[in-house]
Structure 1
Amino acid sequence: MIRTNVDFLTYIELLNEKYPNFFLIENYNPKEVILKQQKRYQSLYIIKNGITKCYLSDENGKEFIQEFLGKGMEFGELEVFSGNLSYCSIEAISKVVVYKISYKNYNYLLDNDRLFNRLVIKSMALKIGYKAPRHSFQQSYSIEENILKLKHNYPDYDKIFSKNDIANYLGITIRSLNRTLNGLK
């Protein structure tokens, strides 16, 4: 549920020492939006600490949470490669500290640092590899089974995430979530 990439974060911290002007450190408070869907940015972010949610909003304002991102996860990288507007919004769930890097410096590292390049490719592959099984499980199993899997993998999920976020992550209504939670008691 909360995706992390400690290897990538460890390497970013080394790069921050090597290239101190490449990275800015920014702080965000809970509920603060870091990236907005359908906006153009010139930087991307790597989470140093905290938890964010990555979500899409439809024309009616309904959110679908793609994933929760934690330490070492980057966001905004797809836009570097595609040149498109941001695909998703990113919002802080807890206090969040990020390394912010410009597209220019990111591309420099991609071109000149083989390990950085490899870690970026691996990170993107893991993101893709995570989504298909998650969506498949959510489609193939009942709400009860999805909640039991969440509880098994993240025993304190209900203390970290709001019911609204849990429902949006599972692609269900709050009413269905509440009814299921009451049935599981």
Structure 2
Amino acid sequence: MDKENYNKTHESLVKQVPYPFLTEQLIRQSFLTTYSRNEKIVSQAGQLTYLFIILEGKARIIQQEPNGKSLILQFLEVGDFIGELTVVHAENTPKDVIAIGPVRCLAIPLSIVENLLQDADFSLFLAQYIGKKLLMRMEHFSHAQTFELKYRLAALLLEVSVNDQYTENNTQIADYLGISYRHLTYTFKYLRENGYIKKNHAGYLINPPKLRQLIQQGYQL
């Protein structure tokens, strides 16, 4: 992790997430943190010291099970918080959050966040954000029951690919989608043979326009 103080060169970066509570004074009390691919932003074994907001890049939330298995719980993108459930004491320790590609975050010290929580507008904003993420999780499980896998996988590829490159662990992805590994590989084969993706040394190179067309077909059924 690289950490630096906020300065004017970061202004356009922070403006990508125009949240009302992000005053210039608050931003100047925060830090810009940068992570490389597969680097942990937050560790389940560590202690949370900042509330993060993703400014660039994507990340995955991982639950480490007692049997040693790693489960993907959710994917994060620009504008998402990291550590909000710990901040509101909904969980005692954070989950592992790992950068999918290069990631930059605004790191707000928890001492500042504690003061922010005294503001009713900020507390409402955070509650609404957590509520929306819960609804997204419910939608994820709903789609698992109603959408054919090829449409769900197409949407996931668009969500988690970085620069049109998919590099996820397919065992974890099969668990995340609630399917067998065999079913997943069969569907990857279908997407590959029909020109939606192309196999390469890192994983798959995706064709976003074609994948979006496929998803639209799924909604029209």
Instruction: Name the TM tier (shorter chain).
Output: 0.7 to 0.9
Is 2:119 the partner of 1:118?
A: no
In the TM superposition, what is the alpha-carbon distance from 1:177 to its structure 2 partner?
1.4
Deviation at 1:130, TM superposition (A): 0.7
2:78 maps to a residue whose letter is K
Q: State whether residues 64 and 171 of structure 1, in contact with CA within 8 Å, keep that contact through their aligned partners in structure 2.
A: no
Supply the distance in 2 between the matched residues of 1:73 and 1:182 (Cα, whole angstroms). Answer: 32
User: How many Å separate the matches in 2 of 1:105 and 1:145?
Assistant: 42
Larger helix percent = 1
User: What letter matches 2:79 in structure 1?
Assistant: G
Q: 1:10 aligns with which of 18, 27, 36?
A: 18
What runs of 5+ residues in structure 1 fail to find an aligned partner? 1-5
Match of 1:160 in 2: 166
Structure 2: distance between partners of 1:107 and 1:26: 20
SS at match of 2:17: helix
Residue-pair matches, total: 176
The alignment partner of 1:82 has SS state of coil
Displacement, 1:84?
4.0
Residue type at the aligned position of 1:55: I
**Among candidates 88, 94, 100, match of residue 107 of structure 2:** 100
Q: What SS does structure 2 have at the residue aligned with 1:104?
A: helix
Distance in structure 1 (CA, Å) of the matches to 2:105 and 2:83: 12
Change in 2 beyond 3 A, CA 1:42/1:148: closer
Task: Indicate if the aligned counterparts of 1:22 and 1:101 stay in contact, CA closer than 8 A.
Answer: yes
**Structure of greater Rg:** 2
1:59 aligns with one of 66, 70, 88 = 66
TM-score of the superposed pair, with normalisation by structure 1:
0.77
1:144, CA displacement in angstroms? 3.8
Aligned to 1:85: 92
TM-score (norm 2): 0.66
